[in-house]
Structure formats: structure tokens, C-alpha cells
Amino acid sequence: MSSANFVVYLMAFICQILMLHIRDVSAGSCWLAVGSNGRCQNLLMTDTTRENCCVGNRGTAWVEEDASSSDLFRWRALTGGAPNCQRCHNSCSTMQCSVGKKCKERNGIPKCVCAPDCHNLRDRHRGPVCGSDNRTYKNQCTMLKHNCRHNNHVEVAYPGECQTSCDTVQCTHNRHCILDQNHIAHCVECSNCPRIRHNSPSRMLLCGSDGNTYNSQCHIRRATCLNQGNIQTAYKGRCQDSPTCDNIQCTSGKSCLMNPTTQRPQCVTCIASMYCGHSQQEIPLCGVDNKTYNNWCALRRASCESGVIIEAKHPGRCEVGLDKRKKYVQTVPHPAIYIMLTILEMEMFLAVLKVLLQNFRESALDLSKFAFRKCFCSPFAKNQSQVKVSN
């Protein structure tokens, strides 16, 4: 055997060893859970190692088999999961749960479950609380568990149920209640404004929608916060005695509208052909004209078209009674609803993932064939006489 042929055979042997090693290391699939039948369920990833699958504290499981798409379908549709399922963790001794969670073994299966420390809260509120996400929680501990399950950072906005007015809201920590454009109550801190001298060049007088003159936009926001009102900038300059849209000048991009409640003009932003979409997160509003608008944007657009400011009377449709309006202040759904949504989302995710994995596997197969040829693996072909060696 010539030295050139020996080099070719040696390279081919090394190439095959590497290919087998790569296949042995990566040939495995990772799963999210183990079913009651002992089979792996809910595919997480394929072509992965046990170390990569079991990293962290997830309750994952690993199958030492690089399954094809047909195998995955057969396991899921006919056998109830993948066979030869190996749990990543067999006891709580190997599990390290994050803050707010602790390990519990259920039917011999270790799992990190949400268990926030509700006894050592710095500000513990008894009874229902309104969260910063505008949802009413049964108590503060329920809110913490909700944060843990959904990886949120909701804080207590104020004690009691979420309100659509500031009448009964009791804010804590020197915060004050204000209403947003949807008439939803919020507890906020009233910021301090820098003191401005009368002859200061930074002084910019503004007339508020309440008819009072303010030194700056900051002072308008502070007055809104302290007085639980909704004061907006009407126009620049000192407030006039008998203002009308004829004797005030709005800045570029704003139009003058009359406020029928105060009988004062106000400069507002009106965009030509304003488009207002609608989503489930937005709240319908009942205007003072007793018409229902899909959202605040639609109410503003109607104001711009009519030339008169239409204010919101209350959240919800105009024909809805006061008791039924509370549905627009969200409450936390039952955990079963989240479970159903999670299952549906996972089903959609797995369907998309299967297509992506199939495309990836086909691309990877073509790439591996190309790499194999590059590694001079052709001596293992049936007709070895076709091997060409360049000196």
C-alpha cells in the first residue's frame, strides 16, 4: 500500500469515527414531562445531549434515541409518548429551585412548585388587592403565586378591588389616586417640580384645561396627581378671561376644540384619517354623549370630527349597568384556564416545531453528506478504484 493511499484510508477512518462520535453525543431527544404511563410527553427539542436537556431545574426527561418525524408522530398519536424515558431528576436532593419556589415530590417525581413566603411580607395587606396590572387578586399571596407561575412582576397598586374611580381608593406610601383615559384608577407618586422664577427664561406659562395658569408641564402633571383630576394643557400662555378658538393659537399639529363641560377651548392632537384599531386588551368607553366607543382613540377621533371634546363617562358600554362595568376591571382567571391556554399554545408550538425540525434535519443531512465527501471518505465506496489522489 502506497503512502498516499494509507493517508487516504487513515483520513477516512478518522472521519467515520468523528461522525459516529458526533451522532452518539447528539442523538437524543428532550421532553417536557413524563406521563402517568412512564412515557415522555411534550417534545422540547431533538438532536441534543442529556447534559443539555437536563441543565437547570426543569422537570424534563431525555430519550436516548434520535427519533424521526414519523417516530414522533407514532409515539404521540398511538403510544401516548416516547419509550425509554429517563427523568433528569429523580429526587429533590438534586433539584435547586429558584426564589419563591421549593421542591416537592409528587408520586415520586420531584418538581419545583411556587411557594412564596407570604408570612414575611414587608407590606402585608389582608383581603383582596388591586395589582399594578389592573387585576384584582384574592389576597397578596395569590398575587405572588400568580407572579411565580407566569414569571411576572406585578406589585400591589392599592388595597381592595380594582376601581374605576378614586372615591374609595386608599393609596399607601404617600401615593395619590389618578384616573387614566379609560377611567381606571392608579396610585402614583406625585413628582416634585423645580422652582421657576418669574424672570427665568425657562419659564413657559401654560393654560390648563381647568382654567388655571401653570409654570410648566410638570406643574400641570403635579396638580393632576394631587387633585385626582385630569388636567391637560389647553394652550400656551396665560389663561385668558374669555377664550375662544378664534383668539387662541394652537401649535403645529394640533386643532382647537371646545369643551362643552368647561366652555373653554383646548388644543388637542388630531391626525387626519386617524385609524383606531381594536384589540381585546382595550376597553370600550361610554362617552358623555351616551355613545359607546371601542377605545379611547375612537373617542378622540369622534371629538376631532365634531369639533367638540367628548369626555369618557365610564368604562364599558353605555347600556351596561354599574355592577357589570366591573368586568372591565380584570380579575385573575382560574388556574384551569391558564392550563387550557398553555395546552393549546403548546399544541400549536409543537406543530410548527415539527415542520422546522423536519426542514432542519433535511438540511443537516445534506450538509453531513457534503462534509463526509470533504473528509475523503470515498475509499469506503464499492468501487475503490475510482479514488483519485493528488500528489
DSSP 132-147: TTSEEESSHHHHHHHH
**Of 117, 97, 100, 88, nearest to 151 (Cα)?**
100
Residue 41 resides in a domain: yes
User: Higher model confidence: residue 187 or residue 110?
Assistant: 187
Average pLDDT taken over every residue of the chain: 76
Q: Tell me, yes or no, whether 324 and 352 share the same domain.
A: no
Confidence band (pLDDT; 50, 70, 90) for 169? very high
DSSP 169-201: ----TT-EEEE-TT--EEEE---------TT-T
The 3-state DSSP composition of the chain as helix, strand, coil percent (nearest 5) reads 30, 20, 45
**Contact yes or no for 92/105 (Cβ under 8 A):** yes
pLDDT tens for 180-236 read: 888 888 899 998 888 877 767 657 899 999 999 999 999 999 999 988 778 899 999
Residue 28 resides in a domain: yes
**Contact yes or no for 31/85 (Cβ under 8 A):** yes
For residue 299, the tally of other CB atoms under 10 A from its CB is 25
Q: Tell me, yes or no, whether 171 and 204 share the same domain.
A: no
Q: 303-307, 339-343, 367-371: which has the highest mean pLDDT?
A: 303-307
Q: In which region does residue 173 sit, left (phi positive, over 0), alpha (psi from -120 to 50) or beta (all else)?
A: left
Instruction: Please give the single-letter amino acid code of residue 317.
Output: R
CATH number at residue 222: 3.30.60.30
Residue 108 resides in a domain: no
Residue 120 resides in a domain: no
Q: Tell me, yes or no, whether 11 and 80 share the same domain.
A: yes
Q: What is the pTM of this model?
A: 0.54
Q: Tell me, yes or no, whether 221 and 297 share the same domain.
A: no
d(CA 180, CA 174): 19
Q: Tell me, yes or no, whether 227 and 294 share the same domain.
A: no
Q: How many CA atoms does the CB half-sphere of 291 hold within 13 Å?
A: 12
Q: 36-40, 66-70, 235-239, 342-346: which has the highest mean pLDDT?
A: 235-239
Please give the tally of structural domains in the chain.
4
Arithmetic mean of pLDDT, 348-375: 51
Q: Tell me, yes or no, whether 87 and 8 share the same domain.
A: yes
Q: Tell me, yes or no, whether 184 and 200 share the same domain.
A: no
Confidence band (pLDDT; 50, 70, 90) for 107? confident
Q: Parallel, antiparallel, or unpaired: how do β-strands 135-137 and 185-188 relate?
A: unpaired
Residue 263 resides in a domain: no
Exposed/middle/buried for 62, CB within 10 Å: 0-12, 13-18, 19+?
Answer: buried
Q: Tell me, yes or no, whether 181 and 197 share the same domain.
A: no
Q: Tell me, yes or no, whether 309 and 363 share the same domain.
A: no
Domain containing residue 303: 270-328
Residue 198 resides in a domain: yes
* DSSP structure class, residue 259: E
* DSSP structure class, residue 251: P
Tell me which of 249, 278, 295 is where a domain ends. Answer: 249
Residue 86 resides in a domain: yes
**Beta bridge pairs of residue 19:** none
Residue 107 resides in a domain: no
Residues 6+ apart with CB under 8 A from 320: 286
Q: Cα torsion at 229, 234, 238, 239 (round to 10°)?
A: -70
Instruction: Please give the single-letter amino acid code of residue 100.
Output: G
C-alpha cell at 252: 403645529
d(CA 214, CA 232): 11
Q: Tell me, yes or no, whether 48 and 89 share the same domain.
A: yes
C-alpha cell at 54: 437536563
Tell me which of 150, 173, 188 is where a domain ends. Answer: 188
Tell me which of 298, 328, 358 is where a domain ends. Answer: 328
C-alpha cell at 329: 376591571
* DSSP structure class, residue 98: -
CATH number at residue 33: 3.90.290.10
**Contact yes or no for 211/243 (Cβ under 8 A):** no
d(CA 232, CA 251): 15
d(CA 147, CA 155): 9
Q: What are residue 133's phi and psi, to 5 degrees?
A: -95, 10
Q: Tell me, yes or no, whether 315 and 350 share the same domain.
A: no
pLDDT tens for 270-317 read: 876 567 766 545 789 999 999 999 988 899 999 999 999 999 988 889
Q: Tell me, yes or no, whether 350 and 294 share the same domain.
A: no
